[in-house]
Amino acid sequence: MFNDLPKFVFLTGKGGVGKTSLACATAVNLADTGRTVLLVSTDPASNVGQVFGQEIGNAITPIAAVENLSALEIDPEAAAQAYRDRILGPVRGSLPEAVLKGMEEQLSGACTTEIAAFDEFTALLTDDAVTGRFDHVIFDTAPTGHTIRLLQLPGAWSGFLEEGKGDASCLGPLAGLEKQRARYAAAVDSLSDAALTRLILVARPRASSLAEAARTSHELAEIGLTNQHLAINGIMPGQARGDSLAAAMIARERSALSEMDAHLAAMPQSRFELRPENLVGLEALRRMAQPADPQAPASANALPDLPPLGRMIDELEGPGKGLIMTMGKGGVGKTTIAAAVAVELAARGHDVLLTTTDPSAHLTETLAGDVPNLSVSRIDPEAETQAYRDHIMQTRGKSLDAQGRAMLEEDLRSPCTEEIAVFQAFSRTIREASKRFVVMDTAPTGHTLLLLDATSSYHRETLRHAGESAARMTTPMMRLQDPEQTKMLVVTLPETTPVLEAARLQEDLGRAGITPFGWVVNSSLAAAGTTHPLLAARAATEAPEIARVRDELAPRHAVVPMLAEDPVGPARLRALCGGEAALA
């Protein structure tokens, strides 16, 4: 595992890269060598208790089967709710309901959850009476650079908001934190101390995952967190054994690793092989440090029905027009699924517009040149976001002092800002869906839609000024809420964390009055028909996640196979729609 670890260790990375598995395996490894260890999870998808087979919860709990190891699970959703109650409780009954509703929405986004979780674990990080009992404290998930910068902002956040200087997405959650500023300063000092803390960036051996790790690394380095270590998890081991999918995975991983960011490549690294099993239980965790066994037998779990994407497109096709939007966390393949749906509809004779934020110009060129009935537009997220930031700073920011402008500038670095800017660009094409299919890659979250609706008041103001004609008007929000006009597709992977994140996204949309049309489970080994022993074993572990999507979460679902070749170009994109038959 990792060598020469300092007292505090933080693991960070996108959902599904294996942070919890690595954190648990590292904690067990250290405890087995006689070190006293506290494992702390602030991950909303935490399954630490499941991994060790015992209840943990929000109290330091000894792990019965591992001497020297204790664990603590901080529930960020519970922390966020307690945080919202603490801020809103004193003003309930004294403010109009509409104002309260707006405040609640400001406190419902990802920033609130992360800040509330940070509030919990900084109390732990700065409590020597607690941490002094342990040689190592391992945190499963670390705060983002954006959150740390927010907490470092000067001045009184409450005053900034009360004076009406801002109504942005991330400053709201900061309103109740003034009393904790000294504690946050101490926590950030600890994070910056290389002798005390190490940040481990966890990534998969894929170009997109490594690029995300590089962005995170640069962002953290800019605020002084430079004691970083790269952990590349899930590398395909051994030989392809005649399996085309295994051979393609090995080739793609080698290419991604050889072409990774130079700064990332120069960083201290640890590499971990893809395992044939889910890392649940002590023996599996201890095997993490050993080579994977390519002969490992597949699980006895029976695979559920795997309906192809083409079956879902049969239903999408019915009206002959409409708006189809793909949404999901980064790295799940939203762009690929959007392109596959667009190509299939065009191949069936429909007039289709595919609009995407995908920076891969070769994909756009391939589709535009070779697919009849399909036109493509591409939105540059960086350009749209910068234009939006410039507009806000020139309007709302011009009357602020230097401190106020610094606060507004940091707030505009929120992920919500990009969602709003890109969605505004997308909105210009929504009217096209009244006469043909419009397939949009990357939809905003429910929180962002509600925030955009609240801050712009577009929906309400349009109806108020319309008078008698209101009944005939359709605003962008109304179109998104109308299942006859808009079909939302939630895209996920057949793994525990991505499925949980997608479920939370669906709940978020529900608050905005939007019900997804269906779920697409992407990159499934089970649907690929692989014969490689290791991949076949991994395929069997997908069964409970696909069953959960089918039985508990999705009104309808499709399972898309992982392909041996990158799904670029019409033929390969259409192969994603047809299941195993298309791969023959």
Which of the residues are catalytic?
16, 18-21, 43, 497
User: CB of 108 within 8 A of CB of 511?
Assistant: yes
- Residue 12: C-alpha distances to residues 220, 494, 566 (Å): 11, 21, 27
- End-to-end Cα, the chain, rounded Å: 41
- Residue 502: C-alpha distances to residues 11, 416, 579 (Å): 22, 17, 22
**Mutual orientation of helices 458-466 and 446-456 as an angle, nearest 10°?**
50
The dihedral region occupied by 487, where left means phi > 0, alpha psi between -120 and 50, and beta the remainder, is beta
Which of 42, 26, 497, 71 lies closest to 270 in space, CA to CA? Answer: 26
User: CB of 315 within 8 A of CB of 347?
Assistant: no
Three-state secondary structure call for residue 492: strand
What burial class does residue 322 get, using C-beta atoms within 10 Å of its C-beta: 0-12 exposed, 13-18 middle, 19+ buried? Answer: buried
**CA torsion 463→417→202→563, rounded to 10°?**
60
- The total of other beta-carbon atoms located within 10 Å of residue 376's CB is 21
- Strands in 518-524's sheet, in edge-to-edge order, are 374-378, 352-356, 437-441, 322-327, 486-492, 518-524, 557-561
How far does CA 44 lie from the centroid of its chain? 11
Which of 322, 272, 320, 253 lies closest to 479 in space, CA to CA? Answer: 322
